[in-house]
Structure 1
Amino acid sequence: MSLDESYEALKETILEWGGVEVTAMDVYSDIFNLGYNEIQKENEAPGEFKANPLGYFRNNDAHKGHYRIMFDDTFENSLKELQEADFAILNGITYFGRKNVQDHASTMRAMIFDLDGTDAKHLANFFSGAIRGDAYPVPNYVVMSGHNIHLYYVFEYAIPLYPNIKIQLRELKFALTRKIWNQYTTTIKNPQYQGINQGFRVIGGKTKVEGRRVRAFKLNDHPFNLETLGKYVPEESRVDESQLFKLTFLSLEEAKKKYPDWYERRIVKKEPKGSWECKRALYDWWLRQIQSGATHQHRYFCIMCLAIYGVKCGVPFEEVKKDAYDLIPFLNSLKADEPFTENDVKTALECYDSDYITFPRDVISKLTAIPIQSNKRNGRPQKLHLKGARAIQKINDEFNGTNWRDGNGRKPKKGIVQQWKSEHPNGKKIDCEKETGLSRHTVIKWWDD
């Protein structure tokens, strides 16, 4: 079956299961309640604390993309601009400000999923399981983006994105992805996990296929709430609605009394938020994991997490950037008919930001479909774990007549740096980092000593 025949078969399957084609404005008006004064108008006076959807678009001949605030009264005109761009995305979230970064997210109006690798047969299986068997929630809209399917679940009320709710919504979305994405609904084995901030090609906009536009079909008139979506996932993955409308912030005066150390460090001294310093070896390890375990549908997230590991390990941005661009030929080889471009790398590298320094290991593993084993101590505290390890070493030494410390003593880091400098009189700090495996901060500390 040709690609065009496959596309037509997908469309016919949607129609057979009750889908009715609708316009982009039909979908976005439903999601954002356009015309009901819920999002800001273009020249509206400040003070109402309203937020707006944010579009992002880029043309193939442009060096960078642009953000577009989608106002209530000019939404349609802004949408037309996005639809004519070579690449444009929008999601179901409203934001404060001009960039669709998660820290600025205000409310979630719709939860959207990719269902890649599905054909007419697998899509029919999904519809059958959802409509006849209640195995999956029936999406409000099914969107065809080139050869991919997007599922839109519209909320009956805006979900406020307080920090604790963001974390719960992320877990809910991951759990629903695991539910929806299986051997009966897609040909791709590993689920493609996406955060709540993920953008999706604009309905009515251009796709990767020349001359083909993103099309939307309505399937379900009934909006969702967190309870109706939550019934499809295990209880531990559901959102605690009792916390939904509770502000989780303390006033500065309350925080000063309750957390004096934090107040002194963050507010008075204006220090950055706490983090830890990871060894350079962790970054190099992740680079090897990409080269051995990346799959084509997770290429973007592999580079995104390379940037995150770069931040965690103190690797200079220019070096991370070079490593990312050097991976393009390999990532293209995973699926030559869907090239991974320099623009894809550029967008993924936006995660080289200190805000991502505490990005959790389990989320990285889910986004990239690359297993990451945790360091196990069998539930013991580190101090007790090390004590047990040393006891085992002592027993082995007594039995074997050896001393595990012989020849294994670590050189002081100062000595390593100074020895490397003496052997490389014209060497640079970055080369010292690479060859010794020491962190950037350690090399800088002892460089001029």
Structure 2
Amino acid sequence: TKQLWSAQISNAHDKIQYESVCQPFRAVGTSGKDKHKIALAFETGPKLTIEDFNARLPKKYAINKIYKSELTKKQAQELYPEWYQRIVVEKGERGHWNRHEGIYHNWIEKCYQGTEVNHRYYCLENLCSLAVQCQIAPEQVEKDVRELAEYFETLTNKDDNHFTEYDIACAMRTYEEPTESAYRRRIEFISEKTNIPLQRTKRNGRKQEVHLKRIRAMQEFDDEDNGTNWRDGNGRKPK
């Protein structure tokens, strides 16, 4: 991506836009944001494999860590019988952890404070991803998305780059039709796409056991003060 957005190719080389391989694009023959321009596509060669891509990349960027279990199905059944029954035999879905609602609202604040023009879509799409993880009600998501989209439109600095209903609809698809990627995202991926810096939570040198005891004590103090129970609505849901 960085090579394609170099100064020799693009005049926006200082504001690189990263696109997901799952990012939808306009159908060939339809108009774009500029109604006088038609979307075109060109066949330039055969399909490329991972090996083909690696041959064109510097070695440090090569894709060489594709995880694949070395266990046979029989070994997996013996080691993880409950998982095997639920996923392999019953064709069940992979389980997910739910996150605290505060993470969702915190991201909204980050969007108001740090969103840039060329990263607006991914900021909104990530909000929809967090809405899935935090189990936010549809009415609340719709309200927050609309309000944030209105703010994003105020950042528009070119007539051909408005934040449109199409952008909103594409972002909302993550919430309305959640896939595995809506639940599992690395903060490095989010930061790269949104250009909003994120850092992992640190234990400040404490061992995990000590750190967790401290967190639980803080949670119990907050519960006593607020009359709440932090466990309500959190954790993995039973099947």
In the superposition, the TM-score normalised over structure 1's length comes to 0.42
Give the 3-state SS of the residue equivalent to 1:441 in structure 2.
coil
Q: Which residue of 1 aligns with 2:194?
A: 368
Q: Which residue of 2 aligns with 1:325?
A: 146
Cα shift at 1:417? 3.2
Deviations 1:12-70 (A, max 9, x none): xxxxxxxxxxxxxxxxxxxxxxxxxxxxxxxxxxxxxxxxxxxxxxxxxxxxxxxxxxx
> Which residue among 51, 58, 61 is the counterpart of 1:237?
61
Cα shift at 1:347? 2.1
> Which residue among 137, 143, 162 is the counterpart of 1:316?
137
Change (3 A) 1:201 1:440: farther
Change (3 A) 1:320 1:222: closer
Cα shift at 1:317? 2.5
Deviations 1:162-189 (A, max 9, x none): xxxxxxxxxxxxxxx1332244433332
Alignment of structure 1 residues 227-306 onto 2, 5 Å:
227-240=51-64, 251=73, 255-266=76-87, 272-306=93-127
- 8 A contact 2:115–2:123 mirrored in 1: yes
Q: Which residue of 2 aligns with 1:351?
A: 174
RMSD: 4.0
Alignment of structure 1 residues 77-226 onto 2, 5 Å:
177-188=1-12, 189-215=14-40, 225-226=49-50
Cα shift at 1:410? 0.9
Change (3 A) 1:223 1:197: closer
Change (3 A) 1:237 1:334: same
Q: Which residue of 1 aligns with 2:237?
A: none
If you compute each CA radius of gyration, which structure gives the higher value, 1 or 2?
1
- 8 A contact 1:315–1:440 mirrored in 2: no
Consecutive unaligned residues of structure 2, counting only runs of 5 or more, are 235-239
Please give the alpha-carbon distance, in whole angstroms, between the structure 2 residues aligned to 1:360 and 1:275: 15
Higher relative contact order (CA 8 A, sep 6+): 2
How many matched pairs?
Answer: 226
Q: Which residue of 1 aligns with 2:233?
A: 441
Question: Could you tell me which amino acid in structure 1 is paired with residue 15 of structure 2?
Answer: N
Cα shift at 1:319? 0.9
- 8 A contact 1:311–1:354 mirrored in 2: no
Please give the alpha-carbon distance, in whole angstroms, between the structure 2 residues aligned to 1:408 and 1:221: 58
Question: Could you tell me which amino acid in structure 2 is paired with residue 262 of structure 1?
Answer: W
Deviations 1:191-227 (A, max 9, x none): 2112222233334432222222234578x76875544
- 8 A contact 1:206–1:213 mirrored in 2: yes
Q: Which residue of 2 aligns with 1:416?
A: 227
Alignment of structure 1 residues 7-86 onto 2, 5 Å:
none
Cα shift at 1:235? 2.8
Q: Which residue of 2 aligns with 1:66?
A: none
Consecutive unaligned residues of structure 1, counting only runs of 5 or more, are 1-176, 391-404, 419-437, 443-449
Give the share of equivalent positions with the same residue, in percent. 27
- 8 A contact 2:131–2:141 mirrored in 1: yes
Change (3 A) 1:349 1:221: closer
Change (3 A) 1:354 1:195: closer
Change (3 A) 1:285 1:200: same
